[in-house]
Amino acid sequence: MDSKLTLSVEETVKKSTLKKYKIACIVLLALLVIVTLGLGLRLGLRQLDEQGSCRKKCFESSYRALDGCRCDVGCKDRGDCCWDFEETCVESTRIWTCNTFRCGESRLEPSLCSCSDDCLQRKDCCADYKSVCQGETPWVKEKCATAQTSQCPAGFDLPPVILFSMDGFRAEYLQTWSTLMPNINKMKTCGIHSKYLRSVYPTKTFPNHYTIVTGLYPESHGIIDNNMYDVNLNKNFSLSSKEKNDPAWWQGQPVCNIPHGAPMSPPFPV
């Protein structure tokens, strides 16, 4: 009986010792992996530093990195461009947005917009410059304005009205796909949204815009197409011609021109 008890105790001790060895091996293996990754990352970053960069050095003919790479116009022909030349000096001129890598960039004249430090003074910043490079809250994430009284922006004598419409039967964009269009969704949420508005016929741009402005159908306000001929005026109307500026084409009265408090019938449904 005693021999059996002794054997059982020894087996328990062996199992406990084996379990400790397994745990120790796992911990050592994990430490080895962490150290290896740390050394690899450090060496990789050091290698990138030694390679040189084109940041703030784009198209400078006098710049030469420690490894001899260049960032001037002719580096591609010579084959000695720095590793980030394409992304920093070429691709950044083809996009309309900033990123942390572009912030404070040297001015690139061919750029569609700029993320340089002087872009605010030169008024050519990318739309998201303040939010990306200066840390400001983007307009689309701000709360809706709750001013008690309307205030005209600087330079306006009357409050401006921004009319946003969508060609064709695309009201679904404001419902199903609103998350893909955050700026439009912001205007819908903070502004006035005519949820059940429908296009008049013909479903063209100018006829519908003037219908929204006047509350009249195209046959009443006169703008029945984007391009048309009037037999009485003997002239052609189009969006690209000077004729669109002739008041003779535009019948009806814009709702905003009607004096406040004047009697008027409600606008026709559109």
| Alpha carbon distance 125, 136 (integer Å) | 14
Contacts of 165 (CB under 8 A, 6+ apart): 208, 209, 212
Closest C-alpha among 201, 196, 199 to residue 223: 201
Closest C-alpha among 207, 208, 217 to residue 165: 208
What letter represents residue 262's amino acid?
Answer: A
Active site residue 137: no
Matching residue, tokens 């912001």: 186
| Alpha carbon distance 111, 207 (integer Å) | 37
Catalytic position from the list 93, 149, 179, 205 = 205
| Alpha carbon distance 72, 108 (integer Å) | 12
User: What is the set of active-site residues?
Assistant: 205
